Chains A and B, each alone.
Chain A
């Protein structure tokens, strides 16, 4: 079968072809379609798909499934790996039982990420987790299948590391049609505490087992076809991976060059012998990778052994910030080759055109909240959080004094409240509350600070494309489930001042803010009103 697929759709198809039966994860851009689109077709393939409450829980969910013998797929955006890392590292020690592939989608240039321009590849080396880097949707399909095979063979989780330009790239993909009509097949957890529990002295033994395993996988990578060499002429070579490879191929065309290219399908472990062989005859080497210079550092070590005279170019001719493209690679290549390349000059327009940034949608309930807060508490410190609600920091609202990571608004508000006599207001979405908001709430109660927490309960996880969350009474696969009540959680955490209101009643909101700001303990206002886009969509269907 050949069909145009998005990278994320190709990952779904690759997983189906590999026989996946359990999918967990947490939505974020650019990975969210993996869960969203999988859920639409999962039932007919007998696959279970869920959104967990956060990435750590999502990974743990998959660990349980893997230990019960199921093939599992986990999906998350870059920041998700920070959240789940506490369980990811021991997972490398225990290894998997049913195969497990973890998609981690980075977003160079921060197209849809607020907090940092993260390069998640660090975790692969740090946690000793084999990692593949596809360049396009066809490779998303092929590499996903291969990742499941590697996981199966070596009993290790395998990371599929992607970037926005891979997840959100489309091309005709050749794939195998998987038959439908299967029922979800349950596995069985066969007790094996020796393998599934980490506890010293076993932990150190496990570490040894892991390092031995990585050596074996390294031998496997030496022979793997996904570390491929495009033959070329001359004594200058290129090493690259992922989407950068595509830019390299274009740049070679633009500059009319025919250089040998080693495309690494594996980011970790590296096929060191293959690399040494590749660099041995070279005088110059250009390493083309996005963001930090992981390959380049490894190569600096390898060349000392294989070819001490080799001149390595990398981040001295390529940017560390922002995604790469053909033009940037052309500039770098031209420098290495001593060739001329003129960059295209963007013209100055005679008119000033303002940037069109994200803004609140028409009818968004937040339109009632931000201006009210600004008017009632002009001097308050506003700690912001991740989601559509971070538009609070943009014009015309401009009320956001901090922005960090999911749930951080309240953790930081607590610290400011304890450290100063200032009024502190934290603003958080309902999705984020379920992800990482409960723990800081408990902390604020326990350690006795007095911020005002505002939860913007728009009845959905909006920013990432409308995903279900525990407050909605629906699972990702559309089943009814318990509709969790935010105010009941807060009450159980020990919050005494709680008000649930519809922010369209701005007078009531205003009065409550004024009242709660005077409290000597933490207080909570839940502004409950459905996301305007969701409401319109519900009316339509």
Chain B
């Protein structure tokens, strides 16, 4: 297999770093070489955040070049749309059907319409809404989306590996909730 290239995108505070840790770990559990790149600091304060993960036989650079992503994993729809401009034909878009308001931003309907009009395979999931409704916690939408991505084979990670990674990464206190979110997305 060629290296698998993943871009995570969302808004500071949505839990991108934990999501990255889980996927990194899952790739390592699968036996892949893995590298990732994240940004801290200023971006935490409600700005756009983007993190890259690459895994496969041998990875040098931790960054995904424009046009090279296999999967764009968007925790927020407008950030997903923004990122889609840099997506090559092969990229699949996994998008949380959720928008965070911003002055001057297009409406949710417009964003979704544009996402659908694009050429990339699109997977829209109501991750935030489902997690809020069924688990009373929407921060775990990240794990819901991992569950979904694994079930739909959007990334070459087996369910057992993902679950193992979650156990390795998530503190005991929050483990049950996170696994529930994962299963919820997996069974969607």
Residues of chain A at the chain B interface (Cβ within 8 Å): 4, 29-30, 32-33, 111-112, 136, 164-165, 168-172, 243, 245-247, 249-250, 253, 325-327, 343-344, 346-361, 388, 391, 395, 463-465
Q: Which residues of B contact A351 (CB under 8 A)?
A: 81, 106, 110-111, 114
Kindly state whether residue B137 has any CB partner on chain A within 8 Å: no
Would B34 and A4 count as touching, CB distance under 8 A?
yes
Known: A246-B62, A359-B45. A4 touches B28 (CB 8 A): yes
Would A250 and B61 count as touching, CB distance under 8 A?
yes
Residues of chain B at the chain A interface (Cβ within 8 Å): 11-12, 20-21, 24-25, 28, 33-48, 59-63, 65-68, 78-79, 81-82, 84-86, 88, 102-106, 110-111, 114, 117
Would B45 and A358 count as touching, CB distance under 8 A?
yes
Q: How far is the CA of A242 from the CA of B117 in the complex (A)?
A: 41
Q: How far is the CA of A464 from the CA of B33 in the complex (A)?
A: 31
Would A344 and B11 count as touching, CB distance under 8 A?
no
Select B43's contact among A170, A358, A361, A464, beta carbons within 8 Å: A358
A39 to chain B, nearest CB (A): 17
Select A344's contact among B42, B45, B66, beta carbons within 8 Å: B66
- What are 11 A-to-B residue pairs whose CB atoms are below 8 Å? A4-B21, A112-B42, A165-B37, A168-B39, A169-B62, A170-B35, A326-B61, A327-B66, A347-B84, A353-B106, A465-B41
Known: A354-B102, A356-B102, A359-B46. A168 touches B40 (CB 8 A): yes
Which residue, B34, B43, B63, B68, has most C-beta atoms of chain A within 10 A?
Answer: B63
Q: How far is the CA of A353 from the CA of B76 in the complex (A)?
A: 13
Known: A170-B24, A172-B34. A29 touches B42 (CB 8 A): yes
Select A170's contact among B36, B60, B67, B104, beta carbons within 8 Å: B36
B158 to chain A, nearest CB (A): 18
Q: How far is the CA of A348 from the CA of B28 in the complex (A)?
A: 36
Would B37 and A168 count as touching, CB distance under 8 A?
yes
Would B114 and A356 count as touching, CB distance under 8 A?
no
Q: Which residues of B contact A243 (CB under 8 A)?
A: 61
Q: Which residues of B contact A349 (CB under 8 A)?
A: 81-82, 84-85, 114
Q: Which residues of A contact B104 (CB under 8 A)?
A: 352, 354
Q: How far is the CA of A411 from the CA of B84 in the complex (A)?
A: 45
B27 to chain A, nearest CB (A): 9
Would B38 and A168 count as touching, CB distance under 8 A?
yes
Q: How far is the CA of A344 from the CA of B67 in the complex (A)?
A: 6
Q: Which residues of B contact A353 (CB under 8 A)?
A: 78, 81-82, 105-106
A8 to chain B, nearest CB (A): 10
Q: Which residues of B contact A352 (CB under 8 A)?
A: 104, 106
Would A358 and B40 count as touching, CB distance under 8 A?
no
Q: How far is the CA of A327 from the CA of B48 in the complex (A)?
A: 22
Q: Which residues of A contact B82 (CB under 8 A)?
A: 349, 353
Select A4's contact among B24, B47, B59, B106, beta carbons within 8 Å: B24
Q: Which residues of A contact B48 (CB under 8 A)?
A: 355-356
Q: How far is the CA of A395 from the CA of B104 in the complex (A)?
A: 12
Select A346's contact among B43, B60, B66, beta carbons within 8 Å: B66
Q: How far is the CA of A165 from the CA of B64 in the complex (A)?
A: 12
Known: A169-B35, A171-B62, A356-B79. A344 touches B28 (CB 8 A): no
